[in-house]
Amino acid sequence: MGAIKFHTPVSVGEVVKLVSQSGDVTDAVIDFSLSSSANQRPHDKVAEGVFTVGNMRFHYKDGLCDVTVGGKRVRISPDRVDINPA
């Protein structure tokens, strides 16, 4: 299994790719979601990830993790944890 596991349910208006072994969309499954001008990705940097849910944002990259909820932020790095860093 993969090292990273996450669940991201699609929402109304999101663009998705469907895959059907029979060619009939009634038995198709969603392969992955796609971005669009109406539903843009929350981040565009390589080797970094961002999850957003409502007013919560989880941003991670090698050696750093930021979690922001309602304007309050916690930053975690290998040597420290900062609450509401500047």
Phi-psi label, residue 42: left if phi above 0, alpha if psi -120 to 50, beta otherwise: alpha
Question: Which carries the bigger pLDDT value, residue 11 or residue 57?
Answer: 57
pLDDT digits (tens, 9 = 90+) for 13-47: 878 888 999 999 888 888 876 777 776 776 777 77
Q: What percent of the chain has pLDDT over 70?
A: 83
**Pair of tokens at residue 25:** 């969309």
